[in-house]
């Protein structure tokens, strides 16, 4: 289901309380959130000049572990100490900071990635910093999962959420294709790259796939989304109950179509 906004500001990176709310249950986040297509990882690795990767907003290390498995050396940057701690326990090197305030200390990289995190970074300042830490020919790749809930599940979620959280800053829409909403965010990311300078023209890479969720699997993932991370336990339980009933009515499972989309650009080879 598309989420149109996170409050009065149209700039998610300014909503720091929301941006740093995902560590409330880092273990659940790591367990329930979907992984990224292997084809995406391989393409990013193949498009860069080497194996050194900086993972911006690395969270629990989901994307970082996939890049490590592809032969890369990964450093994570993560502002939430709870998420960073979980990632470290999984063997990832992590430095705690927002990307905008992070000190690279003279280090440079072959790729700067951000999995479901770049919208929490200032699009211009973030791209400018990526350009400073990327080697010539290195690649910035920010990527997201675009998903569209079945109408029955989406309508149930929207109805119970509006009842439980009538003053929510999130504007949920069931009448707008998810890709249309995400394209606005992709355009902001691309415009930020253009404004920062130092990169070639941004591209979009798209990878389509699907996943079948049981009722319990989807309800396990839902509390990791920004719409629910800040809710009290009682409100969260009411939302999950309403969505669970809708999934039960569908037979207890549903298949979710995903498109994982990367907004990506290479650092100009002539830049030093």
Per-residue pLDDT tens for 136-179?
Answer: 999 999 999 999 999 999 999 988 888 888 876 666 666 788 89
pLDDT of residue 17: 63
pLDDT higher than threshold 90 for residue 256:
yes
Q: Is the dihedral of CA 142, 181, 207, 155 positive or negative?
A: positive
Q: Is the pLDDT of residue 2 over 60?
A: no
- What's CA 141's distance to the chain center, in Å? 12
Per-residue DSSP letter, 11: -
Mean pLDDT is lowest, of 50-54, 154-158, 171-175, 245-249, for 171-175
Side-chain half-sphere exposure of 90, counting CA atoms within 13 A:
26
Q: What is the mean pLDDT of residues 203-211?
A: 98
pLDDT band, very low/low/confident/very high, at 105 (cuts 50, 70, 90): very high
User: Does the pLDDT value for residue 3 go beyond 90?
Assistant: no
Q: Is there a contact between 53 and 72 (Cβ–Cβ < 8 Å)? A: yes
- Does residue 136 or residue 10 have the better pLDDT? 136
Q: Is residue 68 predicted with pLDDT exceeding 90? A: yes
- Residue in 43, 106, 116, 112 with CA at minimum distance from that of residue 76: 112
203-214 vs 253-266, strand pairing mode: antiparallel
Q: Which domains are delineated in the chain?
A: 12-147+177-210+257-267 (3.40.50.150)
Does the pLDDT at position 5 exceed 50?
no
What was the pLDDT predicted at 84? 97
Looking at residue 12, its pLDDT comes to 62
- Mean pLDDT value of segment 114-128: 97
Looking at the predicted structure, is the pLDDT value of residue 4 above 50?
Answer: no
Please give the pLDDT value at position 19.
54
Q: What backbone torsions phi and psi does residue 188 show, to the nearest 5 degrees?
A: -65, -40
Q: Is the pLDDT of residue 222 over 50?
A: yes
Residue 64 has pLDDT above 90, yes or no: yes
């Amino acid at each position: 289901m598309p989420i149109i906004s996170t409050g009065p500001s149209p700039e998610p990176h300014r909503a720091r309380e929301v941006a740093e709310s995902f560590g409330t249950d880092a273990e659940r986040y790591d367990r329930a959130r979907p992984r990224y297509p292997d084809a995406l990882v391989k393409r990013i690795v193949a498009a860069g000049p080497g194996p050194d990767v900086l993972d911006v907003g690395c969270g629990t290390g989901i994307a970082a572990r996939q890049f490590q498995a592809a032969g890369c050396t990964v450093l994570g940057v993560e502002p939430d100490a709870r998420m960073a701690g979980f990632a470290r326990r999984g063997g990832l090197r992590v430095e705690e900071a927002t990307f905008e305030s992070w000190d690279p200390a003279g280090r440079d990289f072959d790729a700067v990635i951000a999995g479901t995190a770049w919208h929490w970074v200032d699009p211009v300042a973030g791209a400018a910093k990526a350009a400073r830490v990327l080697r010539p020919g290195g690649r910035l790749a920010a990527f997201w999962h675009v998903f569209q809930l079945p109408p029955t599940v989406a309508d149930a979620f929207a109805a119970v959420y509006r009842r439980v959280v009538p003053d929510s800053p999130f504007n949920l829409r069931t009448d707008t294709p998810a890709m249309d909403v995400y394209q606005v965010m992709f355009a902001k990311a691309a415009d930020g790259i253009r404004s920062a300078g130092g990169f070639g023209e941004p591209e979009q890479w798209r990878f389509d796939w699907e996943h079948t969720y049981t009722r319990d699997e989807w309800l396990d993932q839902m509390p990791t989304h920004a719409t629910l991370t800040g809710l009290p336990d009682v409100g969260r339980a009411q939302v999950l109950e309403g969505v669970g009933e809708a999934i039960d009515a569908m037979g207890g499972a549903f298949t979710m179509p995903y498109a994982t989309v990367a907004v990506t650009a290479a650092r100009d080879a002539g830049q030093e």
